[in-house]
Amino acid sequence: MTKGFLPVCRQDMTERQIEQMDFVYVIGDAYVDHPSFGHAIISRILDAHGYKVGIISQPDWKDEESIAIYGRPRLGFLISGGNMDSMVNHYYVSLKKRQTDAYTPGGIMGKRPDYATVVYGNLIRRKYKDVPVIIGGIEASLRRLAHYDYWSNSFKRSILLDSQADMISYGMGEHSIVEIADALNSGIDIKDITYIPGTVYKTKDISGIVNLSDEKYNAEILPTYDKMKAEPAEYAKSFKVQYENTDAFTGKILAEPYPNGVYVVQNPPAKPLSVQEMDDVYALPYERTYHPSYEIAGGVPAISEIKFSLISNRGCFGGCSFCALTFHQGRIIQTRSHESLIDEAKMIIQDPDFKGYIHDVGGPTANFRHPACEKQLKAGVCKNRQCLFPSPCKNLNADHSDYLSLLRKLRSLPGVKKVFIRSGIRFDYLLADSDDTFFKELVEHHISGQLKVAPEHISDAVLSKMGKPENKVYERFVKKYYQLNERLSKKQFLVPYLMSSHPGSTLKEAVELAEYLRDLGYMPEQVQDFYPTPSTISTVMYYTGIDPRTGQKVYVCRNPHEKAMQRALIQYRNPKNYDLVYEALEKAGRSDLIGFDKKCLIRPKRMQKERMAEGSSNNSKKSIKLKAGKNHKKKTIRNIHKKK
């Protein structure tokens, strides 16, 4: 295994006496050799299996030579758009451009193109016509079949076709990338590698995957791309089939037809990693930081979020409609051993910048440390049922004892002052555990003044579309949380994450949420407007107006002005939102909330103008006083100088 960073330029290749790279890995992020970055895991795994890998980070996509610095690779090119979808990385939900990029040296925006995976793929194809190209990472994984693209407001083909790649390694990729590499190394043509779980390929011949003697292995043929594009309801049907086949044990081969007899074929997901396999992945010799060449630019901002954090699990059985984890990591929880995590914690403790605080021990959902029920590792997850929604399944194993034991071990390590939990806590799962010990120790030891939780909304009608529990469950959690704080003589708070404009939310539900916040006496500093990202149930609802799970129609807020009103209602106390809140209340037929009563959200317009004028006058007086103060200070300073 290679010690130090992997090659990033021709000089590194020459110094290591490498005549030809086996794989060239083109990435949209800066090169950060840390297991929180997908490109680090995939490159290290290939390196550990004896393959020579060269990294090309953020190449100039307008220059073909930028991806030719190592010459032609022996086995193929790998492409990842980055740790985030490049479009989410570049744009707010309002479609305004973000100003910074945490995954780029110095946080500079613009070092990767929009739709990075597609652009890099076509760049390579112009330079190398016949070299195998394998795409992966979250951008490719979630766009592996036809999908709605929010940024162009269009229905796009599989990214496999648009990028001109030969194959997608979807999901987490540790199993599939090694199988792909070994197949190519043995001399198998990339077009014949059609059998690896966790991959997607294109073909004109599907005779080998249909009409088999055993029907359970037959591929399921999805609606054609043209039909889905013409009839969005067909896409909702297709997505339901896709969603029901995201499990490694029960998932079927899916074939999506395109014009000219082309099929994009998705093999079932790769099997979950065992505890030992997870430990092996995180034990690889990562440098655990960004490449030193970035130091001159000030480093890579994203490292600060994960430098002193531990990833203890992957996968999520929470099943939130707006989350793509089901499609990417799957619903079966995979965990690392205590020993593996403690070994990594000891490495963190040795870091000269470590101040005694482990920032997080978690994953997509921190308090998931084992599969939801016993049968999942043998029979897979249920196709038509969720583990927690609409209420916890009777077979759910809600048990925090393993997580609690791990946290206690980490707290006791010499040099550790505090172990925080900052990744999400699923509060309905917490309440499903009959033993309160973890809840008590969470409050006592693992919160830094406030706990962030994600009820997302308070309207049960909206929560049902979100795949979240009823509001009364959150209320139970809140009550218990503050009871424990009181019992432990602590004054810690809850910071609820809330979402506006999710499918199913009309102005009526948005007003209900505002009233709830009024009664709570809380106004969030930030509000997440629903962001339609690829391959989520919520995005399908946004595009089609249909809930793919039930086939029922759903109200969708697409109008930018209405979206602004829904968002403003959550922050109704902000004077800047007054006009939007006033308009929203009138349109919702809730002008009863405009007035002087305690239940009212805002004052009438005349009073608002007077208050604003009074505020402006007070500000002017303050400004005059401040100016006078500054002049007095200047005179005083001048007098002191004169005396000297």
Predicted confidence at residue 637, as pLDDT, reads 32
| pLDDT confidence tier of residue 618, bands split at 50, 70 and 90 | low
Predicted confidence at residue 619, as pLDDT, reads 54
Give me the residue label for tokens 């086996």. Answer: 22
Predicted confidence at residue 608, as pLDDT, reads 57
Bigger pLDDT: 210 or 608? Answer: 210
Predicted confidence at residue 631, as pLDDT, reads 47
Q: What percent of the chain is modeled with pLDDT above 90?
A: 87
Whether residue 65 is predicted with pLDDT greater than 60 in this model: the reply is yes
Structure tokens at 369: 């440390």
Predicted confidence at residue 627, as pLDDT, reads 47
Rounded to an integer, the average pLDDT of 377-391 is 91
Q: Which residues contact 394 (CB under 8 A, 6 or more apart)?
A: none
Q: Do domains 10-199 and 308-426 have the same CATH topology?
A: no
Predicted confidence at residue 641, as pLDDT, reads 38
Q: For the chain, which residues make up each domain, given as ranges?
A: 10-199, 308-426, 609-644
Q: Which residues contact 640 (CB under 8 A, 6 or more apart)?
A: none
Whether residue 634 is predicted with pLDDT greater than 50 in this model: the reply is no
Whether residue 640 is predicted with pLDDT greater than 50 in this model: the reply is no
Predicted confidence at residue 639, as pLDDT, reads 38
SS3 585: helix
Q: In whole angstroms, what is the distance from residue 586 CA to residue 602 CA?
A: 12
Predicted confidence at residue 575, as pLDDT, reads 94
Whether residue 153 is predicted with pLDDT greater than 90 in this model: the reply is yes
Predicted confidence at residue 86, as pLDDT, reads 98
Whether residue 535 is predicted with pLDDT greater than 50 in this model: the reply is yes
Nearest CA-CA partner of 603 in 575, 566, 561: 575
- 319 contacts 389 by C-beta, under 8 angstroms: yes
> Would you identify the CATH topology of the domain 10-199?
Rossmann fold (3.40.50)
Predicted confidence at residue 527, as pLDDT, reads 86
How many residues can be counted in the chain? 644
Rounded to an integer, the average pLDDT of 223-240 is 98
Whether residue 340 is predicted with pLDDT greater than 70 in this model: the reply is yes
Q: Give the dihedral sign, CA 22/27/33/38.
A: negative
Average pLDDT, the chain: 93
Predicted confidence at residue 605, as pLDDT, reads 85
> Would you identify the CATH topology of the domain 308-426?
Transcription Regulator spoIIAA (3.30.750)
Whether residue 251 is predicted with pLDDT greater than 80 in this model: the reply is yes
Whether residue 19 is predicted with pLDDT greater than 60 in this model: the reply is yes
Nearest CA-CA partner of 537 in 230, 323, 353: 323
Predicted confidence at residue 617, as pLDDT, reads 53
Rounded to an integer, the average pLDDT of 169-197 is 97
Q: Which residues contact 358 (CB under 8 A, 6 or more apart)?
A: 308, 309, 310, 345, 348, 410, 416, 418, 419, 420
The per-residue b/e assignment along 133-148, b for 16 or more CB within 10 angstroms, e otherwise, is: bbbbbbbbbbbbbbbb
Bigger pLDDT: 326 or 147? Answer: 147
Q: What percent of the chain is modeled with pLDDT above 70?
A: 94
Q: How many CB atoms lie within 10 A of CB 429?
A: 22
* pLDDT tens digits for range 274-325: 999 999 999 999 999 999 999 999 999 999 989 999 999 999 999 999 999 9
